[in-house]
Amino acid sequence: MPRTVEDVGAGQPPGDKMRNRGWAAIVIRFVVAGVSTLLILTSPPVLRAQDETPPGTAVFDADALATQVVAELAAGMFAAVRAQFDPPMADQWSEAGLAKAWATYEARLGSFQSAGQPTGEPQGDRLVEHVPVQLANGAGEVRITFHRDGTIAGLAFLPAGDPVPE
């Protein structure tokens, strides 16, 4: 006659039935732990995003960072912008020099009004972000060149339509 679940442990004291269930739970835990460990040990290593990224592709949200940089420039937060410069840019531009360049740009095209949606394009191992800006006397562009780590390698304040320099 086939045995049913109710028959398992029949004739054993109640404590023995509980011990059998306890051993079953322990065995299941060991099997699950063993399989999990095996999967972890045999899985290929996970590469960091920047190791998998082709040159000229950012590993950060370049549009968002470019928008932030323009907002900081417009708000006069030149120290915050300069803190994002790579060493050659930081050597070339002081906080006062950056403030003067922005003031000259606004003197030429009027006070900053708004920024549009940035667009980016790879240029070698860097990414160039073009941020259209509207100033009181016309349109312009803030062009920011980023390294793959998000540091700024170049910054230009241009009238709208200026060609990308070689």
Distances in Å between the alpha carbon of 43 and those of 2, 40, 46, 144? 43, 5, 9, 40
Residue boundaries of the structural domains of the chain:
5-42, 56-159
Which pLDDT belongs to residue 45? 34
- Is pTM beyond 0.75? Reply is no
Q: Are 145 and 130 in contact (CB under 8 A)?
A: no
Which pLDDT belongs to residue 87? 96
Secondary structure of 60-71 in HEC code, one letter for each residue? CCHHHHHHHHHH
Specify the CATH class of 56-159 in words: alpha beta
Tens-level pLDDT at each residue, the chain (166 residues): 454 444 445 555 555 555 555 544 444 444 334 433 333 333 333 323 334 455 545 567 889 999 999 999 999 999 999 999 999 999 999 999 999 999 999 999 999 999 999 999 998 889 999 999 999 999 999 999 999 999 999 999 999 888 766 5
| 144 Cβ contact partners less than 8 Å away, ≥ 6 residues apart | 66, 69, 128, 129, 131, 152, 154, 155
Secondary structure of 71-89 in HEC code, one letter for each residue? HHHHCCCHHHHHCCECHHH
| Greatest distance between any 2 Cα atoms in the chain | 99
